[in-house]
A = this chain, B = another copy of it.
């Protein structure tokens, strides 16, 4: 019998005022889009590549982009029967031709190469793709996008503002973006949620009582089971989960954000106060209050895109925590921060030090061979404090090899599986800062991270 608390209209309007592109912004975008489409056609003709045209996809094409994001996705569509190699060389040749008039251009690589350019103030991706007959027959992951575009475009009319509100709301929760760094909600997923629930408000109301395993199947055509916390069956491909990249924690953070917002609908849920960088004095004060051990593993940020970097960072974060736990340290929490220059794996421990003495528990006394070998190994070692029997097992109090967590990380971390690029960077040099020493890291981005951490 819960009363459905309505979201005040003027709150929505206040949000939209800040995020909805102005008429002028729209016009600039349309002009740029049209120009790019024409340029693709021109370039294809000039390079003598037949039957190729441009498709504008993404939020810009669907009227669901947030003011100021300035992303344009231009897909260079090749006939389905084009050879993979031709698509790549000819597609990139067309893209490069367009790039001549751009302020900046950069080769990028997903499943295929594509070109990212800066054009009249917009961030443009020029992506070669196959023009397949259905999303189930795609030859490359990007071939799906035009189908998504079609599906949304025909259903989103009148719901554009709700999508904008939802995107900004998710930004406020820190769950917007399906890239590997964020593991949150993609733009397409957000649009599907609004289409499914009919409005921003209904979606937020519903999400309050989501549970892992929540499944939405707009076309009622699901073909396989998925394990992810949220399953949004792709309306254009019955085998695919649109929410596959969404992590459990981002799923839960969204639920939590919906609950808090409905209890108290305010602008802050959309535009949270940006945290300020924490100063030296405050770092000291907060660390003293916590009384725990703080470790910062610092190395040069590898020069790779975020979708390559972050999975390796998370792997390194896990490896560092396992290494410490495996040597008897107690990890309270871990985190990663990557700036342009430096990357930091932060670890908070119960303590950065452990006693020299380590209790080493062996096999039960009555296990033939094994027990006697264990005893023989330790009883005459120099670095043994004592040996005795406890709970039927031989126990030796031995000298701990790594009583200092920082030493352990410095000496052992690089021999663990961390991902290629981080491995390389760490092999070139790694520093482990302890407690107040992290004050030597001055990057304001890190200091913002540290404010949330402490």
Contacts and interface: CB of A to CB of B under 8 A. Distances in A.
Interface of A: 209-212, 229, 248-249, 251-253, 255-256, 259, 289-293, 328, 330, 332-333, 348, 350-351, 353-357, 359, 364-366, 368, 372, 375, 385-386, 389-392, 397, 403, 452, 454
Of A249, A255, A350, A351, most buried by chain B (CB within 10 Å of CB) is A350
Contacts of A252: 364-366, 389, 392
**Number of chain copies forming the complex:** 2
Given A209-B368, A330-B330, 18 more contacts: A209-B366, A212-B366, A249-B390, A249-B391, A251-B392, A252-B366, A289-B356, A289-B357, A289-B385, A290-B385, A291-B356, A291-B357, A292-B355, A292-B357, A332-B359, A333-B359, A348-B357, A351-B351
A79 to B, nearest CB: 46
Contacts of A391: 248-249
Contacts of A248: 391-392
Contacts of A392: 212, 229, 248-249, 251-252
A360 to B, nearest CB: 11
Chain A interface mostly: mixed
Given A355-B290, A357-B292, A255 B350 contact: no
A420 to B, nearest CB: 27
Contact of A255 (B229, B328, B353, B365): B365
Nearest to A385: B290
B259 A290 contact: no
A281 to B, nearest CB: 18
21 contacts: A209-B368, A212-B366, A229-B392, A248-B392, A249-B391, A252-B366, A256-B365, A289-B356, A289-B357, A290-B355, A290-B356, A290-B357, A290-B385, A291-B353, A291-B354, A291-B356, A291-B357, A292-B355, A333-B390, A351-B351, A385-B454
